[in-house]
Amino acid sequence: MLYNVVDIQKILPHRYPFLLVDRITELKEGEYIEGYKNITIAEPVFQGHFPGHPIYPGVMIIEGMAQAGGVLAFKSMDTESQEDIKNKVVYFMSIDKAKFRAPVTPGDKLIYKLTVLKNKGAVWNLDGKAYVDDKLVAQAELKAMIVDK
């Protein structure tokens, strides 16, 4: 474990019920990140998606990937900028090539794996994939930018 949920909250501004990363397990600055979210029936989204047939929404999977990517972008900043994290936020710019391959349900461990496609200054292009039990359940190319709050 590199970062638990308390550590992640020091990096990202998201909080319950919209913090969608429980733990970061691997990180290579400027290159790669892996983390996960444990999906439980207690997720508020399951009240309406769908009663009697709970499916974790694809948009939440994409957002979780984006949040993991935000941790990667922040942790890849130069060391002088690490102190400035409190004054920065990551904005989602685009989602491309999104595909949902299998449903995610309560009890699943949703693993996010993101690699950097390109980084130019504050802009990050990431290839994101989400897995459950080594099975690809979703993928997308994400673009984000670190900006001042």
- In tens, the pLDDT along 135-146 reads 999 999 999 999
pLDDT digits (tens, 9 = 90+) for 106-116: 999 999 999 99
Give the Cα separation of 37 and 65 in Å (integer): 10
* Phi–psi pair at 80, nearest 5 degrees: -65, -35
Given this model, what pLDDT does residue 103 score?
Answer: 98
Residue 80, pLDDT > 90, answer no
Give strand pairing partners of 115.
Answer: 32, 127
- Edge-first strand order for the sheet with 88-100 is 23-28, 32-38, 109-120, 123-132, 135-148, 88-100
Residue 81, pLDDT > 80, answer no
Over range 59-67, report the average pLDDT.
98
Task: Show the beta-strand stretches assigned E in the chain.
Answer: 23-28, 32-38, 88-100, 109-120, 123-132, 135-148
- Cα 11 to Cα 32, 33, 43, 83, 108: the distances in Å are 17, 14, 22, 11, 25
Over range 85-90, report the average pLDDT.
85
Q: Are 114 and 64 in contact (CB under 8 A)?
A: no
Residue 68, pLDDT > 80, answer yes
pLDDT digits (tens, 9 = 90+) for 6-61: 999 999 999 999 999 999 999 999 999 999 999 999 999 999 999 999 999 999 99
Residue 14 tokens, joined: 């998201």
User: Which is catalytic among the residues 14, 23, 49, 88?
Assistant: 49
Does the annotation count 49 as an active-site position? yes
* Phi–psi pair at 59, nearest 5 degrees: -65, -30
Given this model, what pLDDT does residue 59 score?
Answer: 97
Instruction: Provide the residue type at 71 as one letter.
Output: V
Given this model, what pLDDT does residue 22 score?
Answer: 98
Residue 49 is given by DSSP the state S
Average predicted confidence (pLDDT) for the chain: 95
According to CATH, what is the number of the domain 5-148? 3.10.129.10
147 SS3 class: strand
